[in-house]
Structure 1
Amino acid sequence: MKPKKIGLVLIVLLSVGIYFLLYHKDKSLKFIPENSDAVILIDKKKLIRQYISALAVHPSEWFGSRKKEQKQISIFNSGIKIPDYVQIFHLKNSKLNEWYSVFEIESQEKLSAFLKERKFQNLGNNLYRKDFFYIKIENNLCIAGTSKNLETIGKSFYGNSRTKILNADVFMEGGVGSVAFISESRTRNISIELKDNRIEFKKGDGYQHFLSLISELNKENLFINADLDQENLSLLSRIFPTVSKDSLKMNRLKMNAKLELKNDTIITYGYDEDFNEVQKLSYQKIVQPEYSVQIDTKNRDEVWNYFKNKKWLNDKNEFLAIPFQPNTAFKTKNGIEIKSGQNSALPITHKNRNFVLVKNDPLLFSFFKGLNDFKLLKNTEYLFYGNDKQSFFLTLKFKDKELPLILQ
């Protein structure tokens, strides 16, 4: 065979190999129970292609990274079969923080070694735990979740009990993943995209105006800035049941907050040489939040009484549901306001756009000492949520580094 023909055959074989390795995907979703109401999908091969692209322009990473990471067993060599679409699901009538995923086991030995290396605690009966994460080994399945009630999850997939195998095309919107909310009437999909320094969740083409809003908000020296209408408050109430749109009858909620370093006076008493009591003053720096909350409502008195009945509001008109004291609540023409001080509280700016921006503040880690253990939080720059009738946008922005997120 002539060299040209040999070269052509090799190119064809290489192209076919690359296609099946990086592009051809099994789109059947076998591990989503019929009683799921939310699904997260991750496109494994698209994520691998994005990783290869990032690696190509960062030659310093071509020969591997840290020795510690090289010694660790990779998830791809952990004894489980990772499907082309990783399927994470939430069940109807379960808690918001309970999510599950199911994988086929290829090697029990490799999986046991992986769990041992990652310091999973063996709870017996093939159940393992690390922090708030549980793994159950059931026959040829590895069931992972944030709840230890994994045995019933595995039973859903035995004996081909599912009457309909879902297809990934129903959920994917073009990103490396998607979040889908399933109801009897329709399925609402939100695309997940991984950028160099942020993760984006978005739906609709009109989200660009949120980027300009983020730029505008970042100029304000605020730790929290939020403005939400009734519809978005209803969504919030699903996450925080104590914030009920129906019971509070809010039309709009606006709030902002910043952290400040202030002098705190410490008074102690001692005695002089003649045993007379002497007052001593000393000072220390403390982190204290300054905030304003504005509740717009047509049912001001009803909301005020609701706060009283819930014992969130005492006889001094201090709003106790906010743990950071002192503060003062008072009625206004359009509703109720809560301020952290009589004169120093921040003014509310009226943007009338649905958003929440939470920025990373170095003082935050002095205020909440326990947060210092969370490296991910320290590397975060801000979290932004925006939602209107045309678009949905949620992004987690990390601090800029030399390497993109996918290589970190």
Structure 2
Amino acid sequence: MNKKKLLVLVVVLFAAVIYFVFYHKKNTLTMVAANADAIILVDTKKLTRQYVYSLATHPSQWFGSKNKDENSISILKSGVKIPDFFQVFHLKNSKISDWYSVFEFKDKQKFIAFLKQQKFTDQGNNIFRKDQIYIKMSDKNCIVGTSDQGFESIGYQMLLSSKNNVLDAGKFINRGVGGILFTSDHSIPNLSIEINEDHIEIKNDSNSYDPAPIISKLQQTKSFLETELNAANLNNFSSLFDKAFAESSQISHLKATANLEQVNDTIITYGYDDNFNEVEKESIQKIIQPNYVIDLQSSDPEKTESYFQNKKWINAQKQFTAIPFQPNTIEKNKTGFEIKSTRKSIQLSPKLNENYIFVRNNALLLSSFKSLTKPEKKLISDIDYIFYGNNEQDYYLKLKFKKGKLPLILRW
């Protein structure tokens, strides 16, 4: 074989390897629970291509971390099949924090060894747990979730192998590395997920909504929280917790501003002296307390007040008890109600006539989460701000991270 033919063969083989490793998808079908109302899909091939490109342009990461344990088992070698499309789904009528995914086994014993290395504890009935991650194993696959409440129904549906819970993932990811599908609310369009240099964007494929002007204005404030929502957005968010709230309360618009502050909290306890006399003990602890003002506009303030009274959300001291951060006061006005924290007064920011939620990271926020693991604390501390925006049928969510030496995909 002459050199030219050999070179052509090498090029063809190299191209074939590149295609099968980074582009070829064996199966675009993925299994989710039939009663899933929201599904997050990630194209693992696209994600791999983005990771390899980022790695290639950052030579400092080519040899991995010096602190990495050579005996540790990576997720790629843990005994589960890495699907062409990674999926996470939420079940109807379950908690907003409950999400699940299903994986097939390549080697079940390897996976058990992986769980032991990661310090998962055996809960019995083939369920393993570490912190807020639960894993239910069967002979051929496992269910991973942030709760174990849905394991029984998901396992039953998988045994049925019904066509109702098989999804062609390839049809729902047009842009970015992933997408979000809402199966129970067709008014919300499919959303794409894009991982950029220092932020993650979730948005419509139409890409007609430009959040930059609003974000620029909000960054000029110093508030921890700024939000402004109309009736449609209030209905979407409140339905996650109380489906009847938006319609029954008659609330048509919400505007809120909040700051965080560390304050001293006095704790009174009682003990006994050497003569068994009761002794009052006073101690001081530092807590994180929000200062806030909320303006609620109502299409019918009288009905809104009746709704609050029926819910027993207004007490004799005219405090709004539905907000756990006390004390506060609620006052009725011509257009609705204003709720203010009483410890320190703050002013409501100017109205922008937009729909948004803007949360700026604050060092005090991290100090209030005592139970978080080190990786979770690192993730939260790296966030700069979170922005949600909506304009008619356009939805947008941005997780902005602080500037770093590496792009996001190489930081984790």
TM bucket, shorter chain: 0.7 to 0.9
Q: Determine whether 1:386 maps to 2:383.
A: no
Larger deviation: 223-232 or 380-389? 380-389
Query: Secondary structure in 1 aligned to 2:68?
Result: helix
In structure 2, C-alpha distance between the alignment counterparts of 1:369 and 1:181, rounded to whole Å: 33
Normalising by structure 2, report the TM-score.
Answer: 0.87
* Gap change, CA 1:119 and 1:236, over 3 Å in 2: same
* Gap change, CA 1:177 and 1:235, over 3 Å in 2: same
* Gap change, CA 1:258 and 1:25, over 3 Å in 2: same
In structure 1, C-alpha distance between the alignment counterparts of 2:226 and 2:67, rounded to whole Å: 42
In structure 1, C-alpha distance between the alignment counterparts of 2:145 and 2:344, rounded to whole Å: 48
1:8-407 matched pairs, under 5 angstroms: 8-68=8-68, 70-148=70-148, 149-158=150-159, 160-162=161-163, 165-183=166-184, 188-206=189-207, 208-241=209-242, 244-260=245-261, 288-341=289-342, 344-366=345-367, 374-375=376-377, 376-407=379-410
* Gap change, CA 1:367 and 1:92, over 3 Å in 2: closer
**1:58-96 alpha-carbon deviations (Å, 9 max, x no partner):** 111001114335442111111011110012222333333
* Gap change, CA 1:226 and 1:139, over 3 Å in 2: same
Cα distance, 1:301 vs structure 2: 2.1
**1:292-311 alpha-carbon deviations (Å, 9 max, x no partner):** 10001121122123223322
Aligned pairs, how many? Answer: 393
**1:327-355 alpha-carbon deviations (Å, 9 max, x no partner):** 22111221111122498321241111000
- What corresponds to 2:274 in structure 1? none
In structure 2, C-alpha distance between the alignment counterparts of 1:319 and 1:39, rounded to whole Å: 36
**1:201-238 alpha-carbon deviations (Å, 9 max, x no partner):** 11144455212211210110100000000000011112
Larger deviation: 337-346 or 39-48? 337-346
Code of the residue aligned with 2:180 in structure 1: it is V
Normalising by structure 1, report the TM-score.
Answer: 0.87
* Gap change, CA 1:240 and 1:154, over 3 Å in 2: closer
**Off by >6 Å, runs of 4+ in structure 1:** 184-187, 262-266, 283-286
Query: Secondary structure in 2 aligned to 1:306?
Result: helix
Larger deviation: 363-372 or 346-355? 363-372
Cα distance, 1:22 vs structure 2: 0.2
Cα distance, 1:159 vs structure 2: 6.0
Cα distance, 1:28 vs structure 2: 2.8
* Gap change, CA 1:129 and 1:260, over 3 Å in 2: closer
Code of the residue aligned with 1:137 in structure 2: it is M
Code of the residue aligned with 1:310 in structure 2: it is K
In structure 2, C-alpha distance between the alignment counterparts of 1:181 and 1:285, rounded to whole Å: 42
Cα distance, 1:382 vs structure 2: 1.2
In structure 2, C-alpha distance between the alignment counterparts of 1:262 and 1:254, rounded to whole Å: 25
In structure 1, C-alpha distance between the alignment counterparts of 2:285 and 2:105, rounded to whole Å: 57
* Gap change, CA 1:189 and 1:69, over 3 Å in 2: farther
* Gap change, CA 1:143 and 1:390, over 3 Å in 2: closer
- What corresponds to 2:276 in structure 1? none
**1:312-371 alpha-carbon deviations (Å, 9 max, x no partner):** 212222222223333221112211111224983212411110000111112334566556
Residue pair 1:193, 1:199 contacting (<8 A) in 2 also: yes
Residue pair 2:28, 2:170 contacting (<8 A) in 1 also: no
Code of the residue aligned with 1:378 in structure 2: it is S
Larger deviation: 334-343 or 306-315? 334-343
Residue pair 1:136, 1:151 contacting (<8 A) in 2 also: no
- What corresponds to 2:275 in structure 1? none
Code of the residue aligned with 1:36 in structure 2: it is A
Query: Secondary structure in 1 aligned to 2:251?
Result: coil
Code of the residue aligned with 2:387 in structure 1: it is F
Gaps of 5+ in 1: 267-282
Cα distance, 1:35 vs structure 2: 2.9
* Gap change, CA 1:177 and 1:305, over 3 Å in 2: same
* Gap change, CA 1:118 and 1:351, over 3 Å in 2: same
Residue pair 1:204, 1:390 contacting (<8 A) in 2 also: no
* Gap change, CA 1:69 and 1:253, over 3 Å in 2: farther
In structure 2, C-alpha distance between the alignment counterparts of 1:29 and 1:393, rounded to whole Å: 27
Residue pair 1:88, 1:99 contacting (<8 A) in 2 also: yes
Cα distance, 1:170 vs structure 2: 2.6
